């Protein structure tokens, strides 16, 4: 599949997602995964820190990055969205709920959403362990619709 060179997220968004996934990550590794220079990542981290979106903690000779999930996005179009809501959306989009397995599984796997993320407690093989667990987690409701969205009839 040919890529046109653009994405929906900016490099700032990509760096934020990387830091949220692995708070102890080396900025060199972030740069490699995003495809930008380490210096660019350092500047973006400084921007995010100045904006209060992340906190940089010194742990020995390394840094640990804490994402302040309660912070709101800066642009007026996204003012009602918190950093945590955005990160949850990105992480949830990378998972395949069991209800999508079957004919849709290959289409979802083709875009890299299947078993990419490490398992959360209560999960097996990247799928929800049970509808009860997922419903209590506030994500996939037990009656077959995504929690928080109206059901189609």
Confidence of residue 79 (pLDDT cuts 50, 70, 90): confident
Number of residues in the chain? 153
Full set of structural domains in the chain with CATH? 7-93 (1.10.10.10), 95-138 (no CATH)
> On the CB side of 132, how many CA atoms lie within 13 Å of its CA?
0
**Residue 146 near residue 89 (C-beta atoms within 8 A):** no
The answer, as to whether pTM is greater than 0.75, is no
pLDDT digits (tens, 9 = 90+) for 38-67: 999 999 999 999 999 999 999 999 999 999
Distances (CA, A) of 119 to 3, 17, 79, 115, 129: 29, 17, 31, 9, 10
Q: What is the dihedral of CA 132, 89, 115, 123, to 10 degrees?
A: -20
Give pLDDT, residue 100: 45
DSSP state of 76: G
**Residue 53 near residue 73 (C-beta atoms within 8 A):** no
Pick 143 or 111 by higher pLDDT: 143
Which residues contact residue 107 at a Cβ distance below 8 angstroms, ignoring those fewer than 6 apart? Answer: none
21-25, 42-46, 93-97, 124-128: least confident range: 124-128
Task: Give the other-Cβ count within 10 Å of 22's Cβ.
Answer: 14
Helix, strand and coil in the chain, % to nearest 5:
40, 15, 45
Name the region of 128 (left: φ>0; alpha: ψ -120 to 50; beta: rest): beta
Give pLDDT, residue 5: 80
Average pLDDT value for the chain? 75
């Amino acid at each position: 599949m040919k890529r046109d060179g653009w994405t929906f997220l900016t490099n700032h968004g990509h760096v934020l997602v990387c830091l949220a996934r692995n708070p102890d990550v080396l900025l060199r590794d972030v740069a490699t995964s995003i495809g930008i220079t380490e210096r660019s990542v350092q500047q973006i981290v400084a921007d995010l820190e100045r904006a209060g979106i992340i906190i940089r903690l010194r742990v020995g000779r390394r840094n640990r990055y804490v994402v302040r999930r309660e912070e709101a996005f800066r642009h007026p179009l996204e003012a009602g969205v918190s950093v945590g809501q955005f990160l949850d959306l990105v992480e949830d989009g990378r998972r395949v709920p069991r209800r999508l397995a079957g004919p849709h599984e290959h289409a979802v796997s083709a875009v890299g959403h299947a078993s990419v993320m490490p398992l959360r407690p209560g999960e097996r093989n990247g799928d929800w362990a049970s509808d009860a667990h997922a419903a209590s987690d506030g994500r996939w409701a037990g009656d077959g619709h995504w929690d928080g969205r109206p059901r189609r009839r």
